Amino acid sequence: MTTFNTLALKPALLDSVETLGYADMTPVQAQSLPPMLEGRDVIAQAQTGSGKTAAFGLSLLQTLDADTIRLQVLVLCPTRELADQVSKAIRRLAINIPNVKLLTLCGGMPLGPQLASLTHDPHIVVGTPGRVQEHLKRGSLHGGGIKVLVLDEADRMLDMGFSDAIDDIVGRIAKHHQTLLFSATYPQEIRAVSQRLQKNPVEVTVDAPANEVPAIEQRFHEVEPAQKIDALAQLLSGERGADVSGQQALVFCNMRREVDAVALELDRRGFSALALHGDMDQRDRDEVLVRFVNHSCSVLVATDVAARGLDIVSLPLVISYDIAHDPETHTHRIGRTGRAGQSGLAITLCAPRERPKALNIEELNGTPLAWRPLKVAPQRSKTLHLAPMKTLVIDAGRQDKLRPGDILGALTGDAGLAAKDIGKIDVYATRAYVAISCSLAAKALERLRAGKIKGRSFRVRPLG
């Protein structure tokens, strides 16, 4: 066991680690933190859930000098969702260091407010490569003082075509900086990026110990394409012996239009299902994620790209409506379940013509796939499978100095709800979301509209 206080970390950071309740370092942290703190470049193979964010977060905060007002740390992430999570994690770790300014800069968001917040350089920028590149080019961001560059989920960034943007960014920032590269996989392209951008890096690979391998059960069903939607509805409703009903599920499709079609059909059949894909605007994507994470949507139908960066701690069920094009994508999909030591079920629907892709997965796994018969019957009656919560949107957020506690206070105080009926509360810059038990959502809405939050009246409406 390795404890954090064996490291030469600032007391403020050790305090944060203690407040967060991290007793021991995770394997990635134990191996990567010592060289990172020495200032070495590090390339680490680390999945989501390995504690990688805290690993680079602690190291970059150790290097940061909060008294010097200039951009010192740049963290590049593949998606806005991941950038938001990383920002949150770094903010939590920095809570005991006064005056740390962190800014999240992502594409898909209007440029104007970003330019307005860049009148003074932040210490840390977390963002997606395209938008960060644009700010560096415009001169709205100054890279000359950057001491640490983090490439998080580097393999995903390459998949998404950010390679040139990353190279361009590196050409625009201080020549001497530490480069920390985190990637779930090490394809040749990642090695090439490391060779281009890193100096004599320390390589960290962590094999999950046998007893920590999550218990993911996989099942494969051969289903004719025309029967897939019935098969999916049947599995989700727990009919015919499927033991998965009532659980939250993430359903993957290979094509965006299929995502829409499947989500629509599930909705028609009484499921609270939503679609998530890259054609949607950022606000809609955010709202879909909020609703899924706070349990006011039970089935999320997504493309692989859209599901990246989705941080859901324990998802009991993942279904591939189409089999993934390649075995690596399949592995990513099933890795969405069985996290944090919980068991999970990954079901793949495979049309006869998709068989060759299943064989590729079998080859990669080195073990026979678990094919199970599935008798598909068309659904006769519509049964409602509603989500347990409903989401309300308040048209006010951090800019109005609104905090989760204010919303909780307004609901439990004036509105008379019990804390147990209130779920997750998310406060964004101009908007806040709160999950309420379905049966009490109408009452909560009525009371919030009639009463006040922090002495002020805001617009409140139900989502969906």
Whichever of 34 and 397 has its CB closer to ligand AMP, that residue is 34
**Cross-sheet strand order for the sheet of 389-394:** 422-427, 432-437, 389-394, 460-462
* Closest CB 26 distance from ligand AMP, rounded Å: 5
Cα–Cα distances (Å) from 426 to 215, 269, 434, in that order, read 31, 29, 7
Cβ-proximal residue to ligand AMP, closest one = 53
3-state class of 218 per DSSP?
A: strand
Instruction: Indicate the burial class of 257 (C-beta count within 10 angstroms; 0-12, 13-18, 19 or more).
Output: exposed
* Closest CB 25 distance from ligand AMP, rounded Å: 5
Whichever of 226 and 340 has its CB closer to ligand AMP, that residue is 340
Distance CA 383, CA 128 (A): 42
* Closest CB 13 distance from ligand AMP, rounded Å: 13
- Residue in this structure with the two tokens 């990172």, named with its chain if needed: 36
* Closest CB 20 distance from ligand AMP, rounded Å: 6
The torsion defined by the Cα of 275, 279, 280 and 286, in degrees rounded to 10, comes to: 80
* Closest CB 163 distance from ligand AMP, rounded Å: 23
* Closest CB 49 distance from ligand AMP, rounded Å: 5
Q: Which residues contact 5 (CB under 8 A, 6 or more apart)?
A: 14
Residue type, 436: I
Q: Which residues of 325-363 are buried (b: 16+ CB within 10 A; e: fewer)?
A: eebbbbbbbbbbbbbeeeebbbbbbbbeebeebbebbee
Whichever of 57 and 397 has its CB closer to ligand AMP, that residue is 57
Whichever of 52 and 256 has its CB closer to ligand AMP, that residue is 52
Distance CA 26, CA 413 (A): 41
Q: Which residues of 75-94 are buried (b: 16+ CB within 10 A; e: fewer)?
A: bbbbbbbbbbbbbebbeebb
Q: Which residues contact 235 (CB under 8 A, 6 or more apart)?
A: 242, 244, 319, 347, 374
- Residues at the interface with ligand AMP (CB under 6 A): 22, 25-26, 29, 48-54
Whichever of 26 and 337 has its CB closer to ligand AMP, that residue is 26
Helix (H) or strand (E) holding 90: helix 80-93
* Closest CB 22 distance from ligand AMP, rounded Å: 4
* Closest CB 127 distance from ligand AMP, rounded Å: 17
Whichever of 274 and 307 has its CB closer to ligand AMP, that residue is 307
Whichever of 21 and 110 has its CB closer to ligand AMP, that residue is 21
Question: 196 is written with which tokens?
Answer: 């281009």
Whichever of 52 and 330 has its CB closer to ligand AMP, that residue is 52
Whichever of 54 and 206 has its CB closer to ligand AMP, that residue is 54
Beta strand pairing call for 317-320 and 249-252:
parallel
* Closest CB 29 distance from ligand AMP, rounded Å: 6
Question: 153 is written with which tokens?
Answer: 């989920």
